[in-house]
């Protein structure tokens, strides 16, 4: 009986350890990102990127209420695997490489977050290789070439 209780306690501790580690971080606006996302990887991402986003929002002269709303919106969008233009542009403005952690999420459930991480990885690799940013025109040219070669959209 004692061993059974120890096994149950061990399983409980292991299953809650990710949640506890995420909860140890603090939000400047007292936001519980785990409550919004229900995903420890996204929760940790939000706690890590929040200070950078707040600095970025300061440059945009957003009020505290607007900042809090924007942060919750980003967390909510990421939590349900949705990409919004403002979400992507805000992350890109502060730390696009932070998205690489999304590749640890289940690809079937978080396909858009995987694509976002891959997008920023491609841009980083291109800049590392050629020393310049991949422009929108170069990206569109590559897509046209892909369509011409394979007769379909890139997926």
Tens digit of each residue's pLDDT (9 = 90 or more) over 72-93: 999 999 999 988 888 889 999 9
Task: Give the Cα separation of 64 and 28 in Å (integer).
Answer: 10
DSSP 101: G
Determine what percent of the chain is predicted with pLDDT higher than 90. Answer: 50
Average pLDDT over residues 86-111: 93
- Write down the pLDDT at residue 135: 74
Q: What is the pLDDT of residue 146?
A: 61
CA distance 149 to 12: 53
Highest mean pLDDT among 3-17, 24-38, 49-63, 113-127: 49-63
Residue 21 confidence (pLDDT): 45
pTM score of the predicted model = 0.70
Q: What is the mean pLDDT of the chain?
A: 82
Distances (CA, A) of 149 to 102, 143, 144: 30, 10, 9
What is d(CA 95, CA 89) in angstroms, rounded to the nearest whole number? 10
Q: pLDDT tens digits for 21-77?
A: 444 578 999 999 999 999 999 999 999 999 999 999 999 999 999 999 999 999 999
Lowest mean pLDDT, pick from 11-15, 50-54, 119-123 = 11-15
């Amino acid at each position: 009986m004692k061993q059974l209780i120890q096994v149950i306690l061990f399983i409980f501790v292991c299953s809650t350890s990710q949640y506890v580690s995420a909860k140890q971080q603090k939000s400047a606006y007292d936001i519980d990102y785990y409550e919004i996302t229900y995903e420890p990887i996204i929760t940790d991402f939000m706690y890590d990127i929040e200070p950078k986003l707040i600095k970025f929002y300061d440059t945009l002269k957003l009020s505290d209420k607007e900042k809090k709303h924007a942060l919750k919106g980003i967390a909510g969008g990421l939590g349900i695997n949705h990409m919004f233009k403002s979400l992507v542009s805000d992350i890109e403005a502060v730390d696009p490489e932070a998205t690489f952690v999304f590749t640890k999420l289940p690809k079937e459930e978080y396909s858009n977050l995987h694509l976002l991480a891959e997008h920023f990885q491609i841009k980083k690799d291109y800049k590392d290789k050629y020393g310049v940013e991949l422009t929108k025109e170069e990206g569109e040219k590559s897509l046209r070439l892909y369509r011409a070669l394979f007769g379909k959209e890139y997926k």
